[in-house]
């Protein structure tokens, strides 16, 4: 029975599975049930990255940063919960003590946006990764979090709850560090890196302008993105991945959904793949829409404003490829289901208090 259910789920269109883990809009839910995400990052030089990684639609967003970044990040949004606690004098033990009370409240950690490469920040990332593994938490690793993985791959080896979001350059560096042969078709590199680093883990990487998502199965996301490669888009991606993972965790734990119309429940092992794919589709879509409006002048802040109008309901599937719908409803796109629950088919930007 279980094998049949998994096989049927694998044949179900990817987008439908992604939509299934999105929490319903229901008066029965309380604050925090639809995602509590923590971002480990934010340094004196990089304050924008953790903001972009924290503003993608979960209920509560925490940013854990160094003191020099805290004030700046707080001014970007009053919705963010900012903890400027990572000091240069901290030891691994003191970092763990500071993080414990915060991390224990979260569904997911996103490690790397604005992290920087200073020793104390890299140590904080390492401790956070260890804590996440001990607690069985999902974790997204991006930016200078990947620099840590590049130098110390053992921090994530064997962790099937880790999702890596490297860009092309970061992906090549990881391949070099893990001695992955990059001869041949670029699309074959990601499975090799996955096998070398994290068996059965999910990776999302940019190869030849196509995002490749791995979790036993391989999914290629060919959603068109914008042509302006401004900084910050990767931070949106990692933050959205964290949000989808938080939703997936809540879905698996129950209380948010009871399966689809056929009573099929998405298995837990598929959540990282669906989170990575959903984040990839959404990030590319908002980039594309913002670029169509503003062209060369577009910046990542403009893309944040498009998240609310680019729900997963506003997609069309054509030959297995998602493409943007030119006219997207900006009003609420929720729908009531037969069981009386309301599913959010539209993802709104920002946190909900």
Three-class DSSP category at 305: coil
Does the annotation flag 228 for ligand binding?
yes
Does the annotation flag 252 for ligand binding?
no
Does the annotation flag 231 for ligand binding?
yes
Rounded Cα distance between 343 and 331, Å, is 15
Does the annotation flag 173 for ligand binding?
yes
Interstrand relation of 321-324 and 335-336 (parallel, antiparallel or unpaired): unpaired
Does the annotation flag 135 for ligand binding?
no
Does the annotation flag 78 for ligand binding?
no
Does the annotation flag 245 for ligand binding?
no
Does the annotation flag 302 for ligand binding?
no
Does the annotation flag 305 for ligand binding?
no
Does the annotation flag 112 for ligand binding?
no
Does the annotation flag 136 for ligand binding?
no
Does the annotation flag 326 for ligand binding?
no
119-135 and 92-103 helices, crossing angle to 10°: 50
Does the annotation flag 54 for ligand binding?
no
CA end-to-end span of the chain: 40
Does the annotation flag 152 for ligand binding?
no
Does the annotation flag 291 for ligand binding?
no
Does the annotation flag 129 for ligand binding?
no
Does the annotation flag 184 for ligand binding?
yes
- List the alpha helices (DSSP H) in the chain: 2-11, 14-20, 48-53, 67-76, 92-103, 119-135, 144-151, 168-177, 189-197, 233-253, 271-294, 300-304
Interstrand relation of 315-318 and 81-84 (parallel, antiparallel or unpaired): unpaired
Q: Is 166 exposed, middle or buried (0-12, 13-18, 19+ CB in 10 A)?
A: buried
Three-class DSSP category at 197: helix
Does the annotation flag 168 for ligand binding?
yes
Does the annotation flag 235 for ligand binding?
yes
Question: Residue 83 belongs to what H/E stretch?
Answer: strand 81-84
Rounded Cα distance between 273 and 39, Å, is 20
Does the annotation flag 172 for ligand binding?
yes
Does the annotation flag 19 for ligand binding?
no
Does the annotation flag 335 for ligand binding?
no
Does the annotation flag 341 for ligand binding?
no
Does the annotation flag 24 for ligand binding?
no
Binding residues: 114, 167-173, 183-187, 225-235
Binding residues for (6S)-NADPHX: 114, 167-173, 235
Binding residues for ATP: 183-187, 225-234
């Amino acid at each position: 029975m279980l094998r049949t259910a998994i096989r049927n789920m694998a044949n179900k269109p990817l987008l439908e599975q992604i939509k299934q883990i999105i929490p319903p809009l229901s008066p029965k839910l309380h604050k925090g049930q639809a995602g509590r995400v923590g971002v480990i990052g934010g340094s004196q030089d990089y304050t924008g990255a953790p903001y972009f990684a924290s503003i993608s639609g979960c209920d509560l967003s925490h940013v854990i940063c160094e003191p020099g970044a805290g004030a700046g990040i707080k001014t970007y949004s009053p919705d963010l919960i900012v903890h400027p606690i990572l000091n240069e004098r901290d030891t691994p033990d003191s970092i763990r003590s500071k993080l414990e009370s915060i991390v224990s409240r979260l569904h997911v950690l996103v490690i790397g946006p604005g992290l920087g490469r200073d020793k104390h920040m890299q140590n904080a990332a390492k401790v956070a990764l260890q804590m996440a593994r001990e607690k069985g938490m999902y974790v997204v690793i991006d930016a200078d979090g990947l620099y840590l993985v590049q130098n110390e791959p053992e921090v994530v080896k064997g962790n099937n709850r880790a999702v890596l979001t490297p860009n092309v350059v970061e992906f090549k560096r990881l391949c070099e560090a893990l001695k992955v042969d990059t001869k041949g078709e670029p699309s074959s590199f990601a499975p090799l890196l996955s096998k070398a680093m994290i068996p059965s883990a999910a990776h999302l990487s940019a190869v030849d302008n196509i995002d490749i998502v791995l979790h036993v199965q391989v999914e290629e996301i060919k959603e068109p993105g914008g042509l302006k490669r401004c900084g910050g888009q990767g931070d949106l991606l990692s933050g959205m991945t964290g949000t989808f993972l938080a939703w997936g965790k809540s879905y698996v734990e129950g209380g948010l959904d009871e399966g689809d119309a056929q009573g099929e429940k998405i298995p837990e092992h598929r959540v990282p793949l669906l989170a990575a794919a959903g984040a990839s589709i959404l990030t590319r879509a908002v980039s594309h829409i913002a670029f169509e409006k503003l062209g060369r002048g577009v910046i990542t802040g403009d893309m944040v404003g498009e998240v609310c109008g680019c729900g997963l309901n506003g997609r069309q599937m054509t030959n297995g490829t998602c493409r943007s719908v030119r006219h997207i409803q900006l009003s609420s796109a929720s729908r009531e289901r037969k069981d009386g629950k309301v599913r959010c088919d539209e993802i709104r930007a920002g946190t909900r208090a």
